[in-house]
Each structure stands twice: as C-alpha cells, then as structure tokens.
Amino acid sequence: MKQLLGIRELSADQIVHLLDTAESFRDVSRREIKKVPALRGRTVINLFFEASTRTRTSFEIAAKRLSADAVNISVSTSSVSKGETLLDTARNLQAMAPDCIVIRHSSAGAPYHLSRVCDAAIVNAGDGAHEHPTQALLDALTIREHKHQIAGLKIAIIGDILHSRVARSNIYLLSKLGATVSVAGPGTLVPREFAELIEQGVRVEQRIEDAIVDADVVMILRVQRERQTDAFFPSMREYAVHYGLHPNHLNLAAPDAIVMHPGPMNRGIEISSEIADGGRSLILDQVTNGVAVRMAVLYLLAGAGKDGQEASSDVNVVSATEESSRSLGGVRGRTRKPKRGTRN
C-alpha cells in the first residue's frame, strides 16, 4: 500500500492489517514516554484546506510520536491565498522531498490529483463529500475494541448521509468486514438510490427508529450545513425533533449497543447531551483511537511500506518501542561525570 486515498480501493485483508497495526500503536499512547523512533528522519506535511481540530491535531501527534518531523500548512498561510493552484502547491512541496503528505480539501478527488504528481505517499484526510478513510478506520478500531468483531454486527448510521464523507467510508469498510449497515435520515438527505450507488446490501430506512431496532452500533452524523446549497428540511428544531437521537431511541437498540459520533457534535440537534455524555457513548474513545490509527497509516506508508518491507505490527513496532524505552530510560537514569582535566 503506497497511498491511502479511500476505503473503497482497499481489500478486507488490508483493512484488517491496518487495524492490527493500530492496536500495537495504541499501547504507545498509554506509556509514560509516548514516542517510538519508527519514522525518525522522515517528514510528514499536513496540508489542510478546511477547518479541523481532531483530524489535524491527531495526525500531527501521530507523526511526532513516531519521531517524524511534522509540518503544518493551512490555506490561510499558503500561497493558495495568492492564487497558486493546488497542483503547483503540490509540486513545490514535492521539490522539498517530504515522505508523506496528508491533505484535506473541500473538493472531492483532490488527493487523487496529488498522487499523480507527487512521489510522496498521499493520505486523504477528507475530500469534500467523497471519503474520510482514517475516520472509518478509527471507528472500526473502536467497534472492534468493544465488540471484539465487526462481522455479523448491525450498524445504524443516522443523519446527513448525502453530504457525509464519513458515512461513505464507513459503509465501504463495515460492509467489507461483514457488518449489516442501515442508514436513516430525512428523505432529502438519504435518497432511496443512495444504497445502489454506494454499496450493495445497505438498507435505507425512512424512520430512524427502524434503523435503530436491534442495532449493535448507533452512529450519529451531524448536519453538514457548510456543504448544503438548498433547504433540505424546514428547520433545525424540526430536525432535532424527528431525527435527533434521544434516550428513548436506545430502548429499541440491542441491550449492549454503543453510540458513536465523528465530531464535531451539535448537542441538542443530532444528539442529546444525555446520550453524548452517557455510559454508552464512545465518542472520546474514537478520538483516542484516531491517534493510533493515524500512527499506523503513517508508519505503513512512510516507514516500512516505503522501504518495500512487509511491516509486522508484532515485531517492528514492539522492537521500536523497546529500543526507545532503553535509550530514553538509559539517558534519564544515568548521571554523567565530568572527565578528569576538564572544567565544569
């Protein structure tokens, strides 16, 4: 795997390998010294043309925990604000020999264009309403952590499906791993033909209650107002009443059902605070797993994958962790004595 442009292009085996690698890196974030030398000497550029808190920050933290040099570029501080095209920006960045470029862009397909002109590994951090692969991977890692498997689960995805790149990537991933996916929301935001265009076997429900019945996972999406050019429903208040997730809805789900949200949340609109802060909510677990997933992606693309090696999450990551622990622990535990004949 040389790029991560979307989930649709990945096989089930590649997805599982990414998740297994992420599990190994999850332990790094629980240590006192949260760093391994896996990408020492490598450079990761975060090129974000849209606002982001969780994704951009977690990619930066992931790169630094792998000992890579992380460079952040936003549209307001780039030459794009002076009229430079995206491809010219990419060519200029490529001339500086980065190992990986993480891009978020409002236009679907932007990462694909970069992959054609750059030798660096390209990671799609969200392109328009197309895909958001690392979000789907961290969602899958969270589900697998709490449910121990994905195959056979019933997943309900509720909200603005039409404009959501998270919904598309999750539908691709969860279907490939054997889950049953149902989507629901206002008819204008979940057209009937959506399932046929996205993935065979996806159920489109008119009422969110029908999607939630016996669901093992309830995934809530926010209304993508920044991508809507028309009025898709009368008002946010009406949306909250008919399509927001309230405590009574969870009575329809499986007894051990979990609730997820990719963020940012609009409390009181698509999800009530009682649920968001309740015991079934795994929203903060998703954020935690986001760092591990992005560490795995950067490692496989800019590290072992770039060298043409077959990355082993059990051998390479653990050995890197042990090496880091020995070197850092040795420095902390040793006091150097001045040599004779030298001044302090």
pLDDT of residue 75: 77
Residues 115 and 28 occupy one common structural domain: yes
Q: Are 220 and 268 in contact (CB under 8 A)?
A: no
pLDDT of residue 230: 55
User: What CATH number is attached to the domain comprising 153?
Assistant: 3.40.50.1370
Residues 141 and 242 occupy one common structural domain: yes
Domain assignment present for residue 333? The answer is no
The pTM assigned to this predicted structure is 0.87
Residues 145 and 227 occupy one common structural domain: yes
pLDDT of residue 303: 82
Q: Which pLDDT tens digit goes with each residue over 227-259?
A: 455 556 657 888 888 889 999 999 999 999 999
Residues 236 and 302 occupy one common structural domain: no
How many domains does the structure of the chain reveal?
A: 2
pLDDT of residue 198: 66
Residues 180 and 275 occupy one common structural domain: yes
Residues 138 and 251 occupy one common structural domain: yes
Residues 145 and 276 occupy one common structural domain: yes
Residues 167 and 231 occupy one common structural domain: yes
pLDDT of residue 138: 98
Pairwise CA distance, residues 111 & 105, whole Å: 8
Domain assignment present for residue 7? The answer is no
**Which of 231, 255, 285 is where one domain is finished?**
285
Residues 192 and 117 occupy one common structural domain: no
pLDDT of residue 98: 97
pLDDT of residue 231: 55
Average pLDDT over the chain, rounded to an integer: 86
Domain assignment present for residue 340? The answer is no
Domain assignment present for residue 17? The answer is yes
With a cut of 50, which residues of the chain have pLDDT below it?
227, 308-344
Beta bridge partners of 72: 46
Residues 143 and 120 occupy one common structural domain: no
Q: List CB contacts of 112: < 8 A, sequence separation 6 or more.
A: 5
213 Ramachandran zone, left/alpha/beta (phi>0; psi -120 to 50)? beta
Domain assignment present for residue 334? The answer is no
Domain assignment present for residue 339? The answer is no
pLDDT of residue 187: 80
Q: For tokens 């890579």, what's the residue?
A: 68
Residues 20 and 90 occupy one common structural domain: yes
pLDDT of residue 339: 46
**Domain range holding 214?**
133-285
